[in-house]
Amino acid sequence: MKKRAHVLVSGRVQGVFFRATTKEEARKREVNGWVRNLPDGRVEAVFEGEEDDVEEMVDFCHEGSRAAEVEDVEVNWDEYQDEFSGFEVQY
């Protein structure tokens, strides 16, 4: 079953390779979507793919990159929309 997750990650998550690591992890799992920095210091991401793979990406967001210090992760689960053809960092 395919799922979609919209994630907001708070903490020290900008300037610590969070987006690049997220992209790498998503591509390993063949999860589509995007990740970007927000002006308020959070990171936002959308993941689409097989349910187990999307859940693994949400789990990854609780850890982040090696230098990240994740304080909170908000997750909204949605119906799969087949909106993306890969995973990208948005600027």
Nearest to 34 by CA among 62, 5, 14: 5
Q: What is the mean pLDDT of the chain?
A: 97
Neighbour count for residue 15 (Cβ, 10 Å) = 10
Residue ranges of domains in the chain, CATH in brackets: 2-89 (3.30.70.100)
User: Which residue in the block uniquely carries the two structure tokens 């890969």?
Assistant: 86
Predicted TM-score of the model (pTM): 0.96
75 with 5: CB under 8 angstroms? Answer: yes
Q: Taking residues 70-82, report their average pLDDT.
A: 97
Q: Is 32 a catalytic residue?
A: no
Q: What is the pLDDT of residue 79?
A: 94
Phi (first) and psi of residue 35, to 5 degrees: -140, 145
Q: Is 4 a catalytic residue?
A: no
Catalytic option among 4, 19, 29, 42: 19
> How far is it, in rounded angstroms, from Cα 61 to Cα 74?
10
Catalytic option among 12, 27, 29, 37: 37
* β-bridge pairing 2-12 and 43-50: antiparallel
